[in-house]
Structure 1
Amino acid sequence: MAEKNLESYDHPSQIEPFLIEESRPVLIDLMGLAHELCLESARLDAKFHKHTAQGLEALVAGVNCYYSNLIEGYRILPIDIDKTMQDTARFDADNDYQSLASAHIFADRWAKTQQLTQANLPIFPQEIHRLFYQHLPVRMLTLKDGSVMTPGAFRQREVCMGGGLSPKSEYLPILMSRYAEVYGWRLECAGKGGIFRLTSIVAAFAAHHRLVWIHPFADGNGRVARITLDAMLRACGVSGTALWSMSRGLAKRADSYRSLLVQADQPRPGHLHDSGRLTERALAEFCRFGLQVGIDQARLMANMFDLSSFGERVHNYFRHVRKSMLRPESAYLYMYALTMGEFERGEAARLTGLGERTARTILSKLLAEGFLVSETPKGKVRVGFPVHAMPFLLPDLYPHGDIDITEQALRALHTSNS
C-alpha cells in the first residue's frame, strides 16, 4: 500500500462496512458456520452436569489466560496461572508475568458477570481495559515514548498496526460510538433467535476485527478484544457456560489469525483510497476463519471428554502415574463426581467399596489436590480439574513443555496439601 494510503484513515465513515451485507451470497455460508458453531457448543454443554461445568469453566478460564497472553508474546506457565486463580489479588510487583495473569483473570471474571447488551457495549471495552491494567505496576504501563498509559483511556497518539496506520486518535470517541451502535443493535437482534441470531454471531467476529483495527488503546487491544468477543458470543447464546476456548484456537493458528486481521484492514479493491471503505471480502474471510476456529475448539473439547477415553485416562492416572501417592479407587470418586455432578462425603465408602476410614482418607487427599472441590468443609463435593493432572487427563489442552510436572514436584505438591 502506498504511503498516502496509509495515512488516509481520517474520517469515521471509513470504518465501513461493519457487517457483511445481507445480499452477499457469502453471508449464507457464514450463517451455516454460525449454525454449526451453535450445535457444537450446545453438544458440549449437554455433556456435563451444571456442577461439573462449573469446574470445567474455571479450567477454561486459565486456558484463555494462557493462550490470549501467548498470542501477545507472553508465555505464562499454567501452574502460575492456577496459583493466580486461587488468589485473585496476586498482583506481584516483582513478577510481570504473574501480574499479567492476575490482570487477565480479574478482567475476564468481571466480564463473565456482565450480560453484554446494546446499553453497556459502549463502555464495555474501556471497562475491560481499566480492570486489566489498573493494578499493574507503573513500569508495565509505560510506553516506548516514556509516557504512562491511563487504564481505560483511549490512546492519545497515532499507531501503525498491520502495515498501516490505525484511525487517528482524535476520531476514537466517535468511531467507538459507531462501533457500539452497530454491534449493540446486532446483540439486541440475537435475542430474536433464528436467522437474527446467526447473523449476530457472524457480526461478533466482524466486531472483533473492527475493534482490533480501531485500536482504541495504546496497549492491550488484542486481549481486550478477545475478552469482548467471548462476551459477544455469550450474548448471542453461544458458549454460555464457557467450556471451550476461542483464544486457544486463535493461538494455535496465530499466523493465520494475524494475517487475516491484516488483510481485513485493507481498503476495498477498486475504490479510491480517500473513499476509505474497508474490504468486505477480507472481512468475510476473517469471519469464516473465526467461526471455523470456534467450531474446531468446541468439537475438540467434546472429543477430549468422550467418557470412554477420558475414563480410561483417569483410571490409568490413578492406577499408574499416582499409584505411590493416591489409591486407584480414587478414580471411582472422580468419575462419579464428573458424571453425576456432586455427591455427599458419606458416600465415599460405598463408591469405593472400602472401609469408612480409608475412604475418608482418599476423599481428603482428592480434595487437597483439587480433584474434588467443595464450597464448605462438610458440604457435597464436585469434580475439579487441577492443572498438574492435565498433561495426563487432558493431554492436548496445553503444550506439553509448559505443563510437564516431575515426580519430585508431584510429591512436593502431595506433601504440602496433605
Structure 2
Amino acid sequence: MYDRISQMEPLIPGRISGLEDLAGKVVARSAALVGQLHPESQRPVVELLRLINSYYSNLIEGHSTHPVDIERAMHNDYAAEPAKRDLQLESLAHINCQKTVEEWLLREPDLNVADSGFICRVHKQLYAQLPDELRRVKNEDTGEAIEVIGGELRQREIRVGSHIGPLAAALPAFLDRFAGFYQSDAHHGLMPIIAVAASHHRLMWIHPFLDGNGRVTRLYTDACFRRLPLPGYGLWNVSRGLARRRDDYMAALSLGDAPRRNDYDGRGNLSSEGLAQFCSFFLEVCLDQIDYMHGLLQLDSLLDRIRGYVQLRGAKVIPPPKPGLPTLKPEAAYMLQEALLRGEVTRGDIVRVSGMAERTGRMLLGQLLDEGLLVSSMPKGPVRLALPTFVAGYLFPDLYPVQVLR
C-alpha cells in the first residue's frame, strides 16, 4: 500500500531530451493553428470542440452519447429512455463543467490548477450536475451501491485493474506534494508541457476520488493547457486522440504505474522510463490531434467543403436538419464562405455577396439563420458562422462518427 509521498517519485522523467523535442513541436504547431482562421470564426470551432471533448472523454469511460444527441440535450430535447437521458445529462454536465473551469481561469489568472482545492472543485462542479443514477458506484466485491459525493476525497481503498491507489488517509499528503511540484508557475521553457503530461499520469495514479477520476483528470489537463497558456489550445483537444487509442492509453498508464526496474531506471520508487514512455505517448497524441485540426482548418479546403455541403443539400443527397425544411440554394455557399472569411458580416453585405436579388437573398439568409448555420447576437445585427453538429460532421470529416439524423 502506498502511504508515503516518496512512493510517487519520480514526478518528471529523468531523461527528457526526446520529450523536449516533442514538447517543442506541440508548442509550435499548436500556435500555428491560431493564424488559420479569423478570430471570430475560431469561436464556433472552440464551442464545437468543447462538445466533442465531452463525447470522447465520456467514451473513454464506456459511456457513448452521440454529439447529435448531446446537442439535442443542449436544446432541452431529451431521449424518452431514462438511461439515454442520463447519458445526455452526463455529457451536458461535462460541457458545463469545462465552461465553468474556463470562466474560473479568466477570473483567477493566478490560479494553481494543480492544487487539491481546484481539483476537488472541478469534481464537485461535475458531480453537482450528474443525474442520481450516475452518482453511484458499485463495490464489485460486495455489490454495495455507494453514493459519490462531489468534491469529496475517497474514504476507502481502491483497486483499478492491477493498480492499488494510495491509502485514503494519505491522500492529502500525496495531493500536497502533487500541488507543490506541478504548480502552474513552477516550470519554465518546455518543461511546463512535459509537466502537463506527467501530472496527467500522476493524478490518475493518486486516484483521489471514488469515481470520476478519468474525466476530472482530463478536465484538469484541459485547464493546465489553458493556464499556461498554450496558444491554439481549444482549436484541438487531447481527449479525441486518447479515445481513439484507448487501449494504448490504458497500456501507457500502466507503464507509468510500474515500479523502478533497475539502477538505470531513475532513483524513485516508480519507473522513470515508464513515466517517460507515458509522457511520450501523451505528447504524440497531442501532436496527432494538432496536425489533424491543422489539416481541417486549411482555408481553401474548408471553403471547398462548405461548397460541397451546400451542393449535397441542394441535390438532396443529405437530409436537412429537420424534416420538411427546403433544400439549400447554391448561393448559400457564398454566404457561409463570406462569414468564415470575415468572421462577422452585416446582413446587407452578406445578401450582396450572394448575388441574389434583395428579397430572395434575405429569404435565404433567414433560412440559414433558422437552421443555425449562421447566428447573430441581435435581431438585425451582423451574422457569424456557426457549426451545429448536423453540418460539422461534413465540414470536419472524422471529427466524430456521422449519425443518420432521426
What is the CA–CA distance in structure 2 between the aligned matches of 1:162 and 1:127, rounded to whole Å?
Answer: 27
Q: Residue 389 of structure 1 aligns to which amino acid in structure 2?
A: V
Q: Residue 50 of structure 1 aligns to which amino acid in structure 2?
A: P
Shift of 1:29: 1.4
Deviates more, 1:170-179 or 1:368-377: 368-377
| Residues 294 and 237 of structure 1: CA distance in aligned 2, closer, same or farther (over 3 Å) | same
Q: Residue 404 of structure 2 aligns to which amino acid in structure 1?
A: D
Give runs of aligned pairs for residues 9-408 of structure 1, distance below 5 A: 9-21=2-14, 24=15, 27-86=16-75, 95-115=85-105, 117=110, 119=112, 121-122=114-115, 123-144=117-138, 145-184=144-183, 187-189=184-186, 196-239=188-231, 241-270=233-262, 277-323=269-315, 325-400=327-402, 403-405=403-405
Shift of 1:256: 0.6
What is the CA–CA distance in structure 2 between the aligned matches of 1:164 and 1:320, rounded to whole Å?
Answer: 51
CA contact (8 A) 2:32 2:232 kept: no
Shift of 1:93: 7.0
CA offsets 1:353-391 (integer angstroms, 9 cap, x no match): 001111111111111222112112121111111101123
| Residues 295 and 169 of structure 1: CA distance in aligned 2, closer, same or farther (over 3 Å) | same
Q: Residue 337 of structure 2 aligns to which amino acid in structure 1?
A: M
CA contact (8 A) 2:31 2:232 kept: no
What is the CA–CA distance in structure 2 between the aligned matches of 1:365 and 1:348, rounded to whole Å?
Answer: 13
TM-score (norm 2): 0.89
What is the CA–CA distance in structure 2 between the aligned matches of 1:292 and 1:136, rounded to whole Å?
Answer: 32
Shift of 1:232: 0.6
What is the CA–CA distance in structure 2 between the aligned matches of 1:68 and 1:203, rounded to whole Å?
Answer: 21
Deviates more, 1:307-316 or 1:110-119: 110-119
CA contact (8 A) 1:154 1:218 kept: yes
| Residues 106 and 93 of structure 1: CA distance in aligned 2, closer, same or farther (over 3 Å) | farther
CA contact (8 A) 1:59 1:385 kept: yes
What is the CA–CA distance in structure 1 between the aligned matches of 2:330 and 2:229, rounded to whole Å?
Answer: 40
Q: Residue 230 of structure 2: SS of its match in structure 1? A: coil
What is the CA–CA distance in structure 1 between the aligned matches of 2:152 and 2:393, rounded to whole Å?
Answer: 40
CA offsets 1:241-260 (integer angstroms, 9 cap, x no match): 50112100111111110001
CA contact (8 A) 2:128 2:150 kept: yes
| Residues 181 and 104 of structure 1: CA distance in aligned 2, closer, same or farther (over 3 Å) | same
TM-score (norm 1): 0.86
What is the CA–CA distance in structure 1 between the aligned matches of 2:123 and 2:371, rounded to whole Å?
Answer: 34
Q: Residue 404 of structure 1 aligns to which amino acid in structure 2?
A: V
Shift of 1:76: 0.6
Identity %: 37
Q: Residue 259 of structure 2: SS of its match in structure 1? A: coil
What is the CA–CA distance in structure 2 between the aligned matches of 1:88 and 1:320, rounded to whole Å?
Answer: 27
What is the CA–CA distance in structure 2 between the aligned matches of 1:47 and 1:287, rounded to whole Å?
Answer: 28
Shift of 1:19: 1.4
Paired residues in the alignment total 382
What is the CA–CA distance in structure 1 between the aligned matches of 2:397 and 2:382, rounded to whole Å?
Answer: 28
Q: Residue 147 of structure 1: SS of its match in structure 2? A: strand
Q: Residue 166 of structure 1 aligns to which amino acid in structure 2?
A: G
Shift of 1:85: 3.8
What is the CA–CA distance in structure 2 between the aligned matches of 1:32 and 1:87, rounded to whole Å?
Answer: 46
CA contact (8 A) 1:88 1:106 kept: no
CA offsets 1:25-65 (integer angstroms, 9 cap, x no match): xx121111111011111111111111111111001001101
In the alignment, structure 2 segments of 5+ residues that lack a partner are 139-143, 317-326
In the alignment, structure 1 segments of 5+ residues that lack a partner are 1-7, 191-195, 410-418
1:414 alignment partner in structure 2: none
Deviates more, 1:379-388 or 1:232-241: 232-241
What is the CA–CA distance in structure 2 between the aligned matches of 1:305 and 1:71, rounded to whole Å?
Answer: 26
Q: Residue 168 of structure 1 aligns to which amino acid in structure 2?
A: L
